[in-house]
Structure 1
Amino acid sequence: MNTATLPASTHMGSVVLDVADLDALTAFYRDVLLLDQISAHGDTVDLGRGTDVLVRLRHRPGLPRGERRTAGLFHTAILHDGPTALATTLASFAQARPGLYTGSGDHLVSQAFYLDDPEGNGVELYYDRPRRRRHHPGTPWIAARSDHPRPRPPQSRRHRPREGLLRRHPRVRRHR
């Protein structure tokens, strides 16, 4: 088994998104997701933190809205320095555009929240836990817990469905 790890300085570069409405998407990434507008040249806007470009928006007038069932970018991931920075961005987002929230996930190595931008591009806002807290002997290297964006109403015992995958599958047991 290979136990080599990547250096702590390893990171992803910027992503380029083609967008139909450059002004609206610039405002969203700048004012709602709190990225700095680093530069704007003609039909391109660079956003990020300090001088690090994280997202480049490229204007493509008439660009059709992406369909979830077609190939393409799953989501853009924007790393935050820690839970406080992530919470600040989430508070801004929750006040401005809560209807675009799609879910969250605790990947044990990171905490992530998922949303769509106004043109339907997926966005992950996350922070990585310190490396010393990521793996403990005897635990999986990566696992996930996720939360659905809308709480489901509680079901009384009398109204629980009796049939379905959990009921019929021999290896899955319902916990009561």
Structure 2
Amino acid sequence: MPILLGLIGLAASAYFVIVRVKRGAEMASGLMDAAQDVRGAARRFGFRRQGNQHPVEAVEDPNLAVAALATAFMQLDDLPTADARRALDVALRCHLNLDGDTAQEIEVLGHWLVEQCGGAAPAFSRLSKRLHKLDEGASFPTLIEILSEVTSAGSKGGPSTRQSEALTDLAHVFSPR
């Protein structure tokens, strides 16, 4: 009888390990797909990361910086809604003159840049400075229009506290010196 119980325990342990390994393989596959999406988007926009600098510093396309800033701004809302995500997609297509596929790719790359900065708040600060360096404020009106549309579609219909603080910081970065 103890041998039979031992075999049942061994079989249960083997089943548990097999299920965990299978789930791990599925998760790794999902991560690889996400990485492929980011790499494809980066290639399309000519983004080249260099080993000795932060990824935001490698951004050379103002449209990419605007999209990443808008993504960070949306994530500053407490809980970005599906409406806010749709508004971001529509605003990027409209104001940056992008087609659907390009808008989705630029959003993926923008989200990746936000994650590389360690969150929405540090990303917003770093990206706003980068955008100002890239075009010295030429994209500012377009950025404000996009952020306005994202804000109006947000969870409160207006900017959250963190978004208001980010807008103040943005005005400071783009103010004439």
TM-score by length of 1: 0.27
Comparing both structures, which one devotes a greater share of its residues to strand? 1
Higher relative contact order (CA 8 A, sep 6+): 2
Larger Rg: 2
Comparing both structures, which one devotes a greater share of its residues to helix? 2
